[in-house]
Structure 1
C-alpha cells in the first residue's frame, strides 16, 4: 500500500474526443505531483482525459458533479445558486465519495467546480483551488471571489491575469504556477519529416506559406471568425498563402457562418478545415505562422506556448494571459488590440514579406519560452508551492455554515432497503433465489403439517366409530342372554 498522501483532483469536464487546455493542465499537474502524492482524477464521464491518465498510470473515478458557471461569469443570484448546490444531492454524493476515498488533499480545477471544494471543506479536507481562467469583472465578481476564498486553503493560479481578482484574499493563500511541458512529449529531430508528411496530407506545396489556427472547439470566444477575416485580407495580398483551421464544431449556426463566409469568397480553395488532430506536433510542424485571436481574457494560452515550443512565430490578441506570454518572451510587437483583425493581418504580413524573419523569430521563441516557462522553471515553482502547502495550516469553515454531515440513524426497514439497493444484480438474483427456495420449503412444511392434521383427525374418527361398534355389539350380546 502506498505511503504517499492521497490527492483527489476534480476535473470539471472530460471531452470524449478533444481535450481542452484546462484538462491538459490538470493532467500535466497530476503527472508532476505523482512523485509527491497518490494522485486520483475525478471526472464527470469517460473521455480522452481518462484514457491519457490511464497511460500515465493515474487512476480515475467517474462521478458527474454539476458545475456553477456563474463563478466564472458572475451574475445576480450567484450566492443563492451556490447555496442551492450546498444543500443539493450532488453535495451529499460528493461527500460520500470523499468519505470512501479519504483523501489528504483535494484539488479542484477551474472556478466553476464548487461542489467538491464545499464538500471537502465541510469534512476538514484541505482544498487547493486551481484557477485556469480569468473571472469576469462586474458588479458580482466579489461574490465569486468570496466563495473561492471561503472554500479553499490555497489558491493556485496559472498566470498573473488569472490571479489579479484574488489579490485581496487571505494573506499567504495565493500562488502563481505557470504551465509548462515535458520534452518527452516533443521530438525536435522529427519536425522536418513531420512537416513534409503533414503538408503532403493537406496538399500544401513546399513553397506555400501556411497560417494556422488551433482550438479545441470553434466558438466565438476563441475568435475563429476573426482569424477568417484576417486570413481573407492576407489571401488577397499573398497568392502563396494557405490557411488551416483546426477545431471541432460546437455551435452549428456559428460553424455554418464560418463556412459560408469562406465559400462566398474567391479564396475558398485555400482554406483547410480540420475538426480534430491526434498529433498536435505534426500540425504545428506544417505551419509557418500561428494566430491566436482569443476574444476573451485568457487564463494563459497553451496554444501560443505550444507554437513557440515548436519554433513558430505567434500573432495574438492582447487578451489576459496571451499578452503575458508574448510580453515575457519579447513578442510585444506581435500583439494586436482585441477585436482588430486587420491588425492581425498586418502583423502576419511582416513575416510573409520577410520569410527569413519566420525562422529567426521562431528560434528565438523556443529559447525564450523555455527560459520563462520551461521544465526547470516549472519544477522550481512547483517545489516552492509544495513547501508553501506543506508549511501552512489549513483553515476551517465553521460547521454552522455548512449542512451537518453527521450520519442520521435510519430505521431498520430503511437500512434493509438501502442494503438491497447496493447489491449487484448478480447478488440480487442470488438473494431472490434463496428467498424463493425458502418460500418453497415453507410451503412444503405447511402442506406436510396440514396433511398430518388431517390424518390425525381421520384416525381419531375411526377410533370413535370402532368404539361405538364395540359398544353396540356388547349391548346386543347382553340382550340375547336375557332372552
Structure 2
C-alpha cells in the first residue's frame, strides 16, 4: 500500500524562522480576518477553535466574518473574538447541487459576492487586517475582491475534495482561475485535496489541520472506561467507529463485515459511537444486528460528548467512508491516543496512516475489504501496543496544533513579504 511522504509537502519551503514565534506577553504580532460559515459541524468547529486559540496564543489577533448565525457563531462570540456578520446571511448558504443546479448556484454566489465584498472590505479596514483567511469555498471570490483593494493577502484553506460538479473539470478550473486573478493562496488539508484542485506542483500548498496533542493524550485527565462498562467482555478485541451515523460514513459496510466475521466464528466486538440513533439509517443497522442476535457484540452508543474514553477503550479504531476522506481528524485523534487505525486508503489516510506500521489501509470501501482489514489487524494483535505508540510519535510532529500553526505562519510571512 502506497503512503505519501509527508516531509515532501507538509511544511512550508521557507528558510529561517517565522516572525510569529513569541508566545509571551500580549503584543499583537498580526491581525487575521477569518471568513467562516457560522453553521459548521462539530468536527470543523473543534478544529477551527483549536487553531484560532493556538494562533491567538502566539500574538495573532483574530476577527471573524460570519455568513450566517449558528452554533459556531455563538461559540466564537462566547470565546471573545471580534465578529462581523454579513447582510442577508441566512440566504447565502454556499453552492449546492450538481450540473445545471450547481451552475445556477455559482451565478447566485457571484451576485452575493459583489454585495458582500463591500461589507468584507469594510471589515478589513475596521479590523486593521494584515491578512484574510477563508474556510468556506463560497467565500473566496468575495474575500479576494475585498482584499485586492486593501492589498492584503488571502489564504483559502480547502477542507473538502473539489468534486467534479461541472463537466470537463470546469469546477476546479474556475477555482484556480479565481485564485490566479485575485492572487489567492490555496492551502489544502491534504495532498489528496490539493490534487483535486489541480494546477500542477507548487500551485496549492498543504496545511494539515492541527489537533491538540495535550487534549488527545493518554495522560490527559478524562474518564477511564473498561470494556465491561459498555457491556463487552474484557478480553475481547474491540474495534471502534467514532463518527456521525450517516450512510456517507459507511458504518453499514463495517457492521455487515463484523456480522459475517462473527458468524464465521471470529471472537471480536464493534462499538459505534455517534448519532443520530433515530434515523432510518441507524434503525436499519440496529435491526440487522438484532436479527443476527449479536447485540452483545455490536454496540450502538449514540452521540458522545467526549470521544477520548472510547478511543482509549478500543483496541483498534476504524475510519470508514464511501468516498475519499479529505483528511480525517478522527484518525489523528486516535493516533494521538496511541491507537492503530484501520482506514480506507483513498484521501488523507494514505498520508496519515503508515500501512503495517501505525495501522492498516484497505484498497476499496467494501464489506469484503473491511473483513480482510479486520482479519489482518487481528493477525498482528501482539503489535497493537507498539503500533499505537509509533502512531503518536509520528503524528504529533506532523499534525499537532503547533505544527500546523508553524507551517501556516511561515506561509503568511512569505506572502506578506512579497507584498512589501
- TM-score, normalised by the number of residues in structure 2: 0.78
Any conservation in 2 of the 1:277–1:283 contact (CA below 8 Å)?
no
Between the aligned partners of 1:241 and 1:155, the Cα distance in structure 2 is 44
> What is the CA distance between 1:298 and its match in structure 2?
2.0
Q: For residue 188 of structure 1, give the secondary structure of its aligned residue in structure 2.
A: coil
> What is the CA distance between 1:208 and its match in structure 2?
2.5
Between the aligned partners of 1:201 and 1:33, the Cα distance in structure 2 is 39
Q: For residue 32 of structure 2, give the secondary structure of its aligned residue in structure 1.
A: strand
CA RMSD, Structure 1 to Structure 2 (Å): 3.3
Residue in 2 that maps onto 1:9: 34
Residue in 2 that maps onto 1:31: 53
Moved runs in structure 1, 4+ residues, more than 6 A? Answer: none
Any conservation in 2 of the 1:209–1:288 contact (CA below 8 Å)?
yes
Residue in 1 that maps onto 2:81: 58
Q: 1:322 to 1:179 in 2, by over 3 A?
A: same
Cα deviations across residues 179-206 of structure 1 (Å, max 9, x unaligned)? Answer: 2323332342358x844x3645423332
Q: For residue 281 of structure 2, give the secondary structure of its aligned residue in structure 1.
A: helix
Correspondence list, 1:298-447, <5 A: 298-327=325-354, 331=357, 334-374=360-400, 377-393=403-419
Residue in 2 that maps onto 1:209: 237
Q: 1:106 to 1:382 in 2, by over 3 A?
A: closer
Any conservation in 2 of the 1:120–1:126 contact (CA below 8 Å)?
no
> What is the CA distance between 1:281 and its match in structure 2?
1.4
Residue in 2 that maps onto 1:185: 215
Between the aligned partners of 1:52 and 1:185, the Cα distance in structure 2 is 20
Q: 1:354 to 1:33 in 2, by over 3 A?
A: closer
Residue in 2 that maps onto 1:47: 71
User: Does 2:122 align with 1:99?
Assistant: yes
Q: For residue 339 of structure 2, give the secondary structure of its aligned residue in structure 1.
A: coil
Which residue of 242, 249, 260 corresponds with 2:269? 242
Q: 1:97 to 1:378 in 2, by over 3 A?
A: closer
Q: 1:179 to 1:53 in 2, by over 3 A?
A: farther
Q: For residue 42 of structure 2, give the secondary structure of its aligned residue in structure 1.
A: coil
Between the aligned partners of 2:82 and 2:336, the Cα distance in structure 1 is 29
Between the aligned partners of 1:59 and 1:201, the Cα distance in structure 2 is 43
Residue in 2 that maps onto 1:262: 289
Between the aligned partners of 2:351 and 2:365, the Cα distance in structure 1 is 18
Q: For residue 189 of structure 1, give the secondary structure of its aligned residue in structure 2.
A: coil
> What is the CA distance between 1:260 and its match in structure 2?
2.6
Any conservation in 2 of the 1:10–1:116 contact (CA below 8 Å)?
no
Where do 5+ consecutive residues of structure 1 fail to align?
Answer: 395-483
Between the aligned partners of 1:324 and 1:112, the Cα distance in structure 2 is 27
Q: Which has the higher contact order (CA 8 A, sep 6+)?
A: 2
Q: 1:386 to 1:127 in 2, by over 3 A?
A: closer
Cα deviations across residues 336-375 of structure 1 (Å, max 9, x unaligned)? Answer: 1222222222222233345322212212212222343345
Any conservation in 2 of the 1:2–1:38 contact (CA below 8 Å)?
no
Between the aligned partners of 2:288 and 2:93, the Cα distance in structure 1 is 35
Which residue of 151, 155, 162 corresponds with 2:193? 162
Q: For residue 320 of structure 1, give the secondary structure of its aligned residue in structure 2.
A: coil
Between the aligned partners of 2:325 and 2:184, the Cα distance in structure 1 is 24
Radius of gyration: which is bigger? 1
Which residue of 288, 293, 305 corresponds with 2:320? 293
Where do 5+ consecutive residues of structure 2 fail to align?
Answer: 1-25
Any conservation in 2 of the 1:74–1:143 contact (CA below 8 Å)?
no
Residue in 2 that maps onto 1:230: 257
Q: For residue 46 of structure 2, give the secondary structure of its aligned residue in structure 1.
A: helix
Between the aligned partners of 1:297 and 1:303, the Cα distance in structure 2 is 14
> What is the CA distance between 1:306 and its match in structure 2?
1.0
Between the aligned partners of 2:133 and 2:246, the Cα distance in structure 1 is 28
Residue in 2 that maps onto 1:84: 108
Q: 1:268 to 1:257 in 2, by over 3 A?
A: same
Any conservation in 1 of the 2:357–2:390 contact (CA below 8 Å)?
no
Correspondence list, 1:449-464, <5 A: none
Any conservation in 1 of the 2:31–2:62 contact (CA below 8 Å)?
yes
Any conservation in 2 of the 1:7–1:38 contact (CA below 8 Å)?
yes
Residue in 1 that maps onto 2:15: none
Any conservation in 2 of the 1:117–1:152 contact (CA below 8 Å)?
no
Residue in 1 that maps onto 2:299: 272
Q: For residue 186 of structure 1, give the secondary structure of its aligned residue in structure 2.
A: coil
Any conservation in 2 of the 1:245–1:274 contact (CA below 8 Å)?
yes
User: Does 2:159 align with 1:129?
Assistant: no
Any conservation in 1 of the 2:189–2:209 contact (CA below 8 Å)?
yes
